[in-house]
Amino acid sequence: MRYKKINNGLGWLCFAIATATYILTLEPSVSFWDCGEFISCAFRLQVSHQPGYPLFAMLGKAFSLLSMGDRTKVAYCTNLMSALASAATIMFLFWTITAFAKKLILEKNHRLSQTNTMLIMGAGVIGAGAFTFTDTFWFSAVETIVFALSSLCTAVVFWAILKWDAQAAEPGSDKWIVLIAYIIGLSIGIHLLNLLTIPAIAMVYYFRRYSRINFKSGVVAFLISIAILAFVQFGVRGYTIHIAAYFDLFFVNTLGMAFGSGALTFFVLLIGALVYGIVYSIRRQKPMLNLALLCIAFIYLGYSSFAYIPIRAAANTNLNNTHPDNAFTLYSYLNRTQYGETPLLSGPYFDAKIIDQAEGNPIYRKGKTKYEQAGKRVSYTYDHISLLPRIWSTEQDPQYAANVQFYKQFLGMADGQSPKFADNMSWLFNWQLYQMYARYFLWNFVGRYNDLDGQQNAKAINGNWTSGIFDGGKHLPRSVTNSINYTPLYAVPFVLGIFGMVYHFRQKKRDALIIALLYFFTGIAIVLYVNQTSLQPRERDYSYVGSFYAFAIWIGLGVIALAEMFRKKMNARFAVMGSFVICLIVPVLLATKEWRSHDRSTKMTPHDMAYNFLISCPQNAILFTYGDNDTYSLWYDQEVEGIRPDVRIVCLSLFSSDWYIHQMQGTMNQSAPLPITLSFDQYKDGVRDVIYYNDAHIAGPVEVKDVFDFITSDDSRTKVEYQNGESLNYLPTKNLKLTINADELIKKGVVKPDQKDKLAKTMEWKFNGNYLTKDNLAILDILAHNNWERPICFTATMNTESMAGLQPYLYKEGFTYRLIPLKPDTTVQDQYSKTNSLVMYHNVMGKFKYGNYKHARNLDNVSTQQFYEVMETTFINLAQGLIKDGYPQLALNALHQFDAQMPDINPDIDTASKKYFLAETAYRLHDAALGGRYIKSVNDYITDQLDYNYALLQHNQQEGLNIRDIQISMSLLSAMVDTTKNNNETQLSGQLYARLKDYSSKFSVLQQR
């Protein structure tokens, strides 16, 4: 009883410490990436991206109510949910470690003395404390993301199987197995990662229940565990809905009943079958069958949270990804079919060519009264396939060219060289396993240089791991060593964990094997299954947090290993106390090193950057975004805080889907439907998916409305017949125009009366592609029928290919470009720098928020790299636009505003380059003090980088050289010499010239290559 009280008390103490840590460092508002979407969907019970997170949304909604009606506090409250879930994870980790530690101690001593109890508790405190402060876990603990709650589910089920193990000989112990099944079912509504605990859980059951433990039976048990995992993942989660869909197809299309009637019938039959089976197992006294059926029933009970998805989809919420209001769409939604299939055991390399294709099963969509066939699935035959294809990518992939380029770059393959199996394995081990897993593992337990993206180069310092032990001799740049993100851990947590693992395998192989299985399936198995191609949008360490959790158990058991070693030299009590004090270094070291880089409590950049996008738009604007960080946080600002509800956010990465276009044709918040005239039948799935360009040799540009009418016509004369016999619409010309009525534009406020002479008579542009997809079609519809009633804007962060060739008529008004039909200014080399200067000045100077950039204790890499550069570019464009339009004093005001609100930092060479242009503009406006200060700032940065690269060159560490940074740095030095010389900064110019000459000599060897 005393042991239990101590164990429970210390578990709750770990919870309290973790809770305090995460609340003190909690982000006060929305974070970047998916968080904005998750909070928006939780707050208004909407449908997020695939494969759906219904339980997460419902729990988020409950926590959002703590805001007590203050919408600005909603994000803090949902972030608090992650903090508490993460703290609870730490508590269950403590109890998991003590459970394993107790088994170790009892194995050796057969009794729980006071000293042994101290040792067990010490192991739990060290292991749980260490994991509390690890990089990846802490990152997810202070924002609204699914991985915090998913980790809690993992912790609970793993702890629960150990509780069952301890009570397995007692009557009713199998209740723990049923509880595990229920939590697994619930966890599907949060994230699928929890399913990967099943093999480890199954092996605990095998080792406890079976007396004849040997290699053969162990392999069989392991294969059964894989079968259980597959049954839950593909059977319960997937095929249940798939079968329900075909029931619904029969009931609707054959029996003429309502949508959903067949699916409902199937679920009634499924429930009936489970009830019958459970009753049968009880009456016939079949305990194993009874346990199995109860587990299946409780998995389904937990999984029933997914009823939320079609219910809320049918409610037509603003965010309604895929609109899964029927079983067929729900099945597609759950299986993420829009992202395509990933080859695992066999498939093509990137050089494989399609030589044939075959039609497969029909694709159904919901019609007005029946399900309709939208087409058939297509399977491709390639000229060659290989085992375990890792370097895969097919020509249907939009990122195919980029994938192939990176494969060749990373593997050192020449153009025209065919990949071999050795290249395939090199990619698996060097990129997928090392670069995209081992590197993340080492971040957490060895140390890290910085938080920049490090996917591309395993030898460079950016995003790489370091112990810090040998960093003194590496001539690291100050931008690294002085950064709060430089977190060398001297490999201390790693060493203790390895020590604990080795000890565990020596003393209790079965338990160690269980932890190893948990580690493998929540880490390396994910790498093998996901089979990532090429560069990812961001680092993916959060996906593998379960394996880091498993390793933390061994960190805790390392305390016991050290105490056992000390016991050979001293008495048991001193050995235990000594090992605990020494190992306490691990959590203390992690906390002190990681705290500053995880303290988000003063950061508001995601919220305020999203705000700036929205307030840059005129009233009732249509704002085209692309995805991720120029979309999700905007959804949060608008959906949760009600900022600019008149603006219609249109995410172009979703706009190619029929369901999304259909949503845009409806009212949303205070935004009227988009001027899309297409009927659903004209763009539904399978209709006008692609419209290819087929030059009709039309002279001159054609009115966009005429082109739109042509490509949406059902007249056979507007179609071309292809080799397969299909007749499809085609794009007859890329040259488009829109006739302008100047008086009408002035009346509608598009331009001011004094800008009338600047208006073009016709807006002419060339479409920048060889085919139209649904998003292009919808944009043409809007352009043809908007009649300048609503302003059309694009985010300034969008890629140029998505702007449909409209660049000559796009003018910045803040964080957005606005479509204005002014006469194209051919004198401007950079068409993306054009501004509507006075409007932009009013927005930036009077409305912009700055996310506490200058005073935040910590800025994440999206803030420091992406949006800091966006802010620099915004102020450069604004100042130069004002100068061009004859407002030099306003331009100087803008530069002073940047200086007042933004920190003087240079996170990378690109932001340093922009800083130089700010300096040059300041000199141009006769503010030599500001210009000189920025010149010195840039000089300090590039000198730092060049010194580091020269040290690498001297030590012949060519792979770590950043040639691009060297080239840009030298160009900047040369430009700064000229700028300071031209502005009579003689002394500074001389210093810069001396450095330029010095570095030119040092890096001359690179120029000779």
At 58, list the tokens. 């419902």
pLDDT for residue 110: 64
Instruction: Write the burial class of residue 727 (CB in 10 Å: 0-12 exposed, 13-18 middle, 19+ buried).
Output: exposed
Which of 835, 866, 887 is a domain's end point? 835
Q: Which residues constitute the domain of residue 766? A: 605-835
Shared domain check, 206 and 138: yes
3-state secondary structure 574-593: HHHHHHHHHHCHHHHHHHHH
Judge whether 60 lies within some domain: no
Shared domain check, 532 and 624: no
**Rounded-to-integer distance, Cα 419 and Cα 407, Å:** 9
Specify the pTM. 0.93
pLDDT for residue 7: 95
* 295 close to 205: Cβ distance less than 8 angstroms: no
Judge whether 369 lies within some domain: yes
Shared domain check, 332 and 291: no
The residue among 908, 894, 904, 901 whose CA lies nearest residue 862 is 908
The residue among 452, 410, 400, 447 whose CA lies nearest residue 430 is 410
Shared domain check, 509 and 390: no
Q: How far apart are the two ends of the chain, measured CA to CA in Å?
A: 75
* 375 close to 350: Cβ distance less than 8 angstroms: no
Judge whether 716 lies within some domain: yes
What SS3 state is found at 885? coil
Judge whether 68 lies within some domain: no
Amino acid, res. 131:
F
Instruction: Write the burial class of residue 305 (CB in 10 Å: 0-12 exposed, 13-18 middle, 19+ buried).
Output: buried
For residue 660, the surrounding DSSP H or E stretch is: helix 658-664
Shared domain check, 920 and 775: no
Shared domain check, 740 and 619: yes
Side-chain half-sphere of 995: how many Cα atoms within 13 Å? 25
Bridge partners (DSSP) of residue 692 are 730, 771
At 816, list the tokens. 């957005």
Judge whether 278 lies within some domain: yes
- The gap from C-alpha 948 to its chain's centroid, in whole angstroms, comes to 31
For 679-711, letters b (16+ CB in 10 Å) and e give eeebbbbebbbebeeeeeeeeebbebbebbebb
Which of 364, 379, 399 is a domain's end point? 399
Shared domain check, 355 and 300: no
**Rounded-to-integer distance, Cα 917 and Cα 929, Å:** 15
DSSP secondary structure of 675-687: -----HHHHSTTS
Shared domain check, 352 and 273: no
Judge whether 35 lies within some domain: no
pLDDT for residue 340: 74
Q: How many domains does the chain have?
A: 4
- Give the phi and the psi of residue 759 in degrees, each rounded to 5: -70, 140
**Rounded-to-integer distance, Cα 597 and Cα 613, Å:** 27
Judge whether 535 lies within some domain: yes
Shared domain check, 365 and 290: no
pLDDT for residue 675: 96
* DSSP assigned state of 879: H
* 903 Cβ contact list (under 8 Å, min separation 6): 853, 854
* 172 close to 105: Cβ distance less than 8 angstroms: no
pLDDT for residue 598: 96
Judge whether 321 lies within some domain: no
Shared domain check, 302 and 357: no
* 395 Cβ contact list (under 8 Å, min separation 6): 353, 354
Shared domain check, 590 and 628: no
Shared domain check, 358 and 241: no
Is there a cis peptide before residue 51, judged by omega within 30 degrees of 0? yes
At 549, list the tokens. 């959790």
Which of 380, 399, 418 is a domain's end point? 399
At which residue do the structure tokens 């604004």 appear?
Answer: 878
**Rounded-to-integer distance, Cα 657 and Cα 664, Å:** 11
Rounded to 5°, the CA angle 12-18-23 comes to 125
The residue among 132, 258, 281 whose CA lies nearest residue 586 is 132
Rounded to 5°, the CA angle 437-442-448 comes to 115
* DSSP assigned state of 938: H
Q: What is the mean pLDDT of each run of 10 residues along the chain (1009 residues)?
A: 91 97 97 96 95 94 96 97 98 98 83 89 97 97 96 97 92 94 96 94 93 90 95 94 95 94 96 96 94 96 96 95 94 84 87 86 90 88 89 82 88 88 92 94 96 88 93 89 95 97 95 96 94 88 96 97 90 91 96 96 96 97 92 97 97 93 95 95 90 90 94 90 82 94 91 89 91 93 95 93 90 96 84 92 96 95 94 97 95 97 95 96 95 95 93 84 91 95 92 93 78
